[in-house]
Structure 1
Amino acid sequence: MGVKLYYTTVAGSRSIKSQQSHITRVLDSKGIKYEIIDISQGSELRDEMRNKAGNPTAVPPQIFNEDQYCGDYEMFSDAVEADTVEQFLKMKNI
């Protein structure tokens, strides 16, 4: 699959839950297929997300295209505002 969204089902923060929901709504509305990876299923998934993002303190949501890092929620939100989501997601055939 292409786009991967690292998120958590046990977010203690309402902000993180809201960010994750916003990302999935936007991707769904644009018909972009994505895979959700729930880091609460194991610390190895959290470590994998942080490793791929190049940030040892990264928190979900984090977005990738395959193993290529796209960005975090703030970067995604900026792309939504600029109407450049497909470019942000590093999608081919734009």
Structure 2
Amino acid sequence: MSIKVFYTSVTSSREIKKTQQKIFDILDSKKINYDALDISQEVKVKDLMRELAGDPTALPPQIFNGNNYCGDYKAFDNAIEEESLEKFLKL
């Protein structure tokens, strides 16, 4: 299994850009390997993200371990605060 982060490279939202970058920065700093999947490049990637998240309106970033949904940025941030990132990522 591998960590997948669904994100978008095309957004006018500073909040989305900030949250995505924070996820990448934290995963990089902890040397956790992940695949970054850009939903703005192919509609089927966005559709897959929403299907796996079980939410037809889910917005990036969304985090998965393989096809197992871990959560969105808010859940990721809570896991950082609670020092339970490995549990959150199902590692």
Q: TM-score, normalised by structure 2?
A: 0.98
Please say if 1:85 is aligned against 2:85.
yes
User: Would you identify which runs of 4 or more consecutive aligned residues in structure 1 move more than 4 Å?
Assistant: none
After superposition, the C-alpha distances for 1:4-42 in whole angstroms (9 at most, x for unaligned) are 000000012000000000000110111100000000011
Measure the CA separation in 1 of the matches of 2:73 and 2:30.
17
Say whether 1:13 aligns with 2:16.
Answer: no
- Aligned pair 1:40/2:25, yes or no? no
Residues 57-94 of structure 1: per-residue CA shift (max 9 Å, x gap)? 00000000000000000000000001110100000xxx
SS at match of 1:41: coil
Number of corresponding residues: 91
Which residue matches 2:74? 74
Query: Which consecutive residues of structure 1, in runs of 5 or more, have no partner in the other structure?
Result: none
- What is the TM-score normalised by the length of structure 1? 0.95
Identity level (%): 52
Unaligned runs of 5+ in 2: none
